[in-house]
Amino acid sequence: MNGITKDAAGRLYIASAFGREIVILNAPDGAFIERLGPAQGVLFPDDVVLGPDGSLYWTDIVFGQVGRRAPDGTVTKQFVALGVNPITFSADGRLLVGLALLGDALWELDPQLQEPPRLVLDAPGQLNAFSFGPDGKLYSPSNTRRTLVRIDVDAQTLTPIGALNRSISAVKFDAAQQLWLHSEGELLRVNRETGAIEQTIALGWERADNFVPVAEDRFFVSGPDGLLEVTMDGTIRQIRPGGMRNPGGLAVVRDGDKEVLVVADLQSMYEFDAATGALLETHQSNFMPPPGVSTLLGPMTVSASPVGVVVTTWIFPSAGNNVQEYDLATGSVLRQVIATNTPINAIEFQGKLVVAEIASGSVAQFSGDERTVLASGLFVPAGLAASADALYLGDWASGLIFQLATAGAPLNPPRIVTAGLKHPEGMALDANGNLLVVETGRRSLVRVNTTTGQIATVAAGLDLGPPVPAPGFPPTYMFDGVAVAPSGAIYVTGYEANVIYRITD
């Protein structure tokens, strides 16, 4: 859950960028009233606000558009710039939007979304959820400055307030016009002149995204872990839980006698009991870690390694194009490769990290800072799987499956194992040495005999992720993965339905 606002009737409007929807909830109990998704023109909504006439506005961070849904249901959109993120109205009806993660600017828009946007500030420091104060100035977090800033929209000036040196995600004013902000799992009441912290409410979460005052003494707080009602005396009530929302790659690891399913979910990485589906552990990720801090960065794929798991991310420049080996037991990053060629997937093979790079059309092997190309001239290298001495790759665009190494040595040229697959993504080897491949173009899981290339369908009709949901994104997007447990059970992610399939055959 991302941006949040409320209407006069007490209904909450909550944006979910990667859930691709705005949900309307009843504030007291969190009951669903309505969902607005792609069918209603809502694509990747990051923040929401209600206009003076009751129109609902949202920022589409990935497509760079601001949307407006009028009271009669008519939807209007205007392109501003990639990365449109915070959005708010002033008391006199001026509409402001900012860029973050994919850009850095502050714009004023025509509320009818007809006149061209007016640039207020260029590179103001990665503004996030902001609000106008009683003095008519705009108050905002600055992600790059790690503090609060005050902006005079007319004078086009920005002034830092204090030196909080904290990650701040949102700023709001309560009914008494006191300034509150969310920072690192706390709601803080802050003096808007000096930046001094005057009250702290610990949420019991390490992170949240946004919040909205709903009465003189309470707030609703949204984030990856759900929705909270928080009163100013520190009383906290969970209204809705969080949970898996963007399942991508997955892996099976062992914890004693237990098989544990690890799922990359972009804002988190989850551990589930593979037998029961019970949530065992949540590993929180960070798109903008403090300087010098090594942390889990937006996991999109995950694969098992001898000492933990290997994860990849490419989604935001702030998180970088990274491959990390991560220790599940300690929550620490063991090693990290900054792979500038857009890493779609990675596995460990013979102690080295093997990365499918879409920007270079290559598969590269990393040992420390040394990069060795194992295969090049590929269209969309995606799926990777390996045994102790054999390495395989699937090309999403060509539908070819290659063997890149045998007996531990690279094959030059790689051997074509089979052809004719439609958009293969996740791959894994079964106990017999055959490849299981998620064929997203046919919404199926197939088994490929690695000797003969024969293809057999294991499961069909799976709700897998749609390709190319946004301009500039790799066609694999969230990446539907597959993993095989020692018990023989097969697990497949279904991004479109937000599910994990368990298949036995």
Q: Sort strands 391-395 and 381-386 into parallel, antiparallel or unpaired.
A: antiparallel
- Residue 412 binned pLDDT confidence (cut-offs 50, 70, 90): very high
Asked, colleague to colleague, whether 4-241 and 250-503 share their fold, the answer is no
Return the sign of the alpha-carbon dihedral for residues 193, 195, 200, 201. positive
Given a cut of 70, whether residue 504 has pLDDT beyond it is: yes
Full DSSP string of 136-189: S-EEEEETTTTEEEEEETTTTEEEEES---S-EEEEEE-TT--EEEEETTEEEE
Residue range 198-211: mean pLDDT, rounded: 91
At 68, which amino acid appears? R
Give the residue, 505 or 402, on which the prediction is more confident. 402
User: Which pLDDT belongs to residue 468?
Assistant: 58
User: Which pLDDT belongs to residue 354?
Assistant: 98
Residue range 324-330: mean pLDDT, rounded: 96
Q: Where are the domains of the chain?
A: 4-241, 250-503
Given a cut of 80, whether residue 344 has pLDDT beyond it is: yes
Return the sign of the alpha-carbon dihedral for residues 473, 262, 169, 10. positive
- Residue 405 binned pLDDT confidence (cut-offs 50, 70, 90): very high
Looking at the chain, how many residues does it have?
505
Q: How far apart are CA 265 and CA 255, in angstroms?
A: 21
Full DSSP string of 86-106: EEEE-TT--EEEEE-SS--EE
Q: How far apart are CA 272 and CA 292, in angstroms?
A: 31
In angstroms, the Cα distances linking 126 to 83, 109, 208, 231 are 10, 18, 18, 29
User: Which pLDDT belongs to residue 467?
Assistant: 61
User: Which pLDDT belongs to residue 290?
Assistant: 66
For tokens 């009250």, name the residue: 199
User: Which pLDDT belongs to residue 329?
Assistant: 94
Q: Is the peptide bond before 124 cis (omega within 30 degrees of 0)?
A: no
Given a cut of 90, whether residue 478 has pLDDT beyond it is: no
User: Which pLDDT belongs to residue 116?
Assistant: 98
Mention every residue, 6+ apart, whose C-beta is less than 8 A from residue 477.
Answer: 465, 466, 467, 468, 469, 470, 495
Residues β-bridged to residue 312: 301, 323
User: Which pLDDT belongs to residue 469?
Assistant: 61
Given a cut of 80, whether residue 320 has pLDDT beyond it is: no
33: left (phi over 0), alpha (psi -120 to 50) or beta: alpha
- Residue 1 binned pLDDT confidence (cut-offs 50, 70, 90): confident
pTM of the full predicted structure?
0.89
Chain-centre distance for alpha carbon 306: 26
Which numeric CATH code is attached to 250-503?
2.120.10.30
| Structural tokens at position 501 | 């399939």
Identity of the highest mean pLDDT range in 149-153, 338-342, 470-474: 149-153
Q: Are 86 and 121 in contact (CB under 8 A)?
A: no
Given a cut of 90, whether residue 368 has pLDDT beyond it is: no
User: Which pLDDT belongs to residue 271?
Assistant: 97
Given a cut of 90, whether residue 327 has pLDDT beyond it is: yes
| Structural tokens at position 360 | 């270079």
Mention every residue, 6+ apart, whose C-beta is less than 8 A from residue 413.
Answer: none
Q: How far apart are CA 225 and CA 461, in angstroms?
A: 30
Q: Are 486 and 254 in contact (CB under 8 A)?
A: yes
At 35, which amino acid appears? R
Residue range 440-444: mean pLDDT, rounded: 97
| Structural tokens at position 404 | 């890149």
Given a cut of 90, whether residue 18 has pLDDT beyond it is: no
pLDDT in tens, 220-273: 999 988 999 999 999 999 998 888 888 999 999 998 889 999 999 998 999 999
Residue range 38-42: mean pLDDT, rounded: 93
For tokens 């080996």, name the residue: 325
User: Which pLDDT belongs to residue 318?
Assistant: 59
Residue range 322-348: mean pLDDT, rounded: 92
pLDDT in tens, 278-308: 999 999 887 776 666 678 998 999 999 999 9
Topology (CATH level 3) of domain 4-241: Methylamine Dehydrogenase; Chain H (2.130.10)
